[in-house]
Chain A
Amino acid sequence: QKEVEQDPGPLSVPEGAIVSLNCTYSNSAFQYFMWYRQYSRKGPELLMYTYSSGNKEDGRFTAQVDKSSKYISLFIRDSQPSDSATYLCAPRDSNYQLIWGAGTKLIIKP
């Protein structure tokens, strides 16, 4: 079993919808949780990160961590075609290494 599980999708939703992207993880010691966005043929770019449990909001994006259930979520409000990309979750372990999910491909249909 992988340390971080993420549905690869693709997830296709209409423009303007609320998108929910999720990961589960197995290591209860993870404290930092990153979300990256990767456009086709580009390097991943950091969207946001959270520390421990709770929510963090940045514009249309909200990251949520529930450590009790080992569940990580990224919500996108008012989704736009430009949000079409692959989204990767990556908790950080105690050795400062990022443990990557496989990524979920998101398609926003105009």
Chain B
Amino acid sequence: DAGITQSPRHKVTETGTPVTLRCHQTENHRYMYWYRQDPGHGLRLIHYSYGVKDTDKGEVSDGYSVSRSKTEDFLLTLESATSSQTSVYFCAISGHGTEAFFGQGTRLTVV
């Protein structure tokens, strides 16, 4: 398995609170991605990074921000969580933008 760890694995939070999800990799891969997965929508890209401090928006970036200060860590922040952000979040890594390897996911519930 690719060395990729997401934390926390489960989280319940209240509407309006900030939440940060962490993705940590040990593969030294250049590309890192955050996706959300919801029934009926499949995987949707939130943000991605192509290097330290280099990030860009995906198709569903509103309400989310990211940071990558080190190669191995990619943080996803929900500035003010809403119930529509209840989802399963996946981090993925890729060395050259072709094969992507996924973490185990974080189940986030916003109540």
Please report A residues at the B interface, Cβ cutoff 8 Å: 32, 34, 41-46, 49, 88, 92, 96-98, 100-103
Number of interface residues of B (CB under 8 A): 21
Give B16-51 interface residues, CB cut-off 8 Å to A: 31, 40-45, 48
By the criterion CB–CB under 8 Å, are A42 and B104 in contact? yes
Say how far A79's CB is from chain B's closest CB, in angstroms.
23
By the criterion CB–CB under 8 Å, are A102 and B100 in contact? no
Q: Determine the chain B residues whose CB is within 8 A of the CB of A101 once the complex forms.
A: 42
Please report B residues at the A interface, Cβ cutoff 8 Å: 31, 40-45, 48, 58, 90, 92, 94, 97-105
> Complex: how many Å from CA A50 to CA B1?
21
Q: Is the interface of A mostly helix, strand, loop or mixed?
A: loop
> Complex: how many Å from CA A46 to CA B99?
7
> Complex: how many Å from CA A66 to CA B98?
19
Say how far B3's CB is from chain A's closest CB, in angstroms.
13
By the criterion CB–CB under 8 Å, are A32 and B103 in contact? no
By the criterion CB–CB under 8 Å, are B42 and A88 in contact? yes
Question: What are 19 A-B interface contacts by the 8 Å CB criterion?
Answer: A34-B98, A34-B100, A42-B105, A43-B90, A43-B92, A43-B103, A43-B104, A43-B105, A44-B43, A44-B102, A45-B101, A46-B100, A49-B98, A96-B98, A97-B48, A98-B100, A100-B42, A100-B44, A102-B42
